[in-house]
Amino acid sequence: MTDPLGLLPELLDLAAGKPRRLGELVAATSWPTLARPYVLHLLWSRRLTVDLALPLGDESWIYLPRTD
């Protein structure tokens, strides 16, 4: 998947600072409408992780995977 808008580094930097809610993470990007499907791609490819205690939605916690 190509990333001509540079959303990958932007999303990873935002998630690296602290866990964020999906809605907050998407809203903090320069392209919120396009960031939402890109976050789903990053979750699917395991570049980001989600807390599955709740159904996936704007209140879900998104964070970087552990690297232990």
Secondary structure letter of residue 35 according to DSSP: H
Dihedral sign from CA coordinates of 39, 44, 49, 50 = positive
Provide the edge-to-edge strand list for the sheet that holds 49-50: 20-21, 61-63, 49-50
What does the pLDDT average to over 7-26? 94
What does the pLDDT average to over 6-19? 92
Where are the chain's structural domains?
7-62
What does the pLDDT average to over 29-49? 94
Average pLDDT, the chain: 92
**Helix residue ranges per DSSP H, the chain:** 7-17, 22-27, 32-44
Residue 13 predicted with pLDDT over 90: yes
**pLDDT of 42-67, one tens digit each?**
999 999 999 988 899 999 999 999 87
Task: Give percent of the chain with pLDDT exceeding 90.
Answer: 78
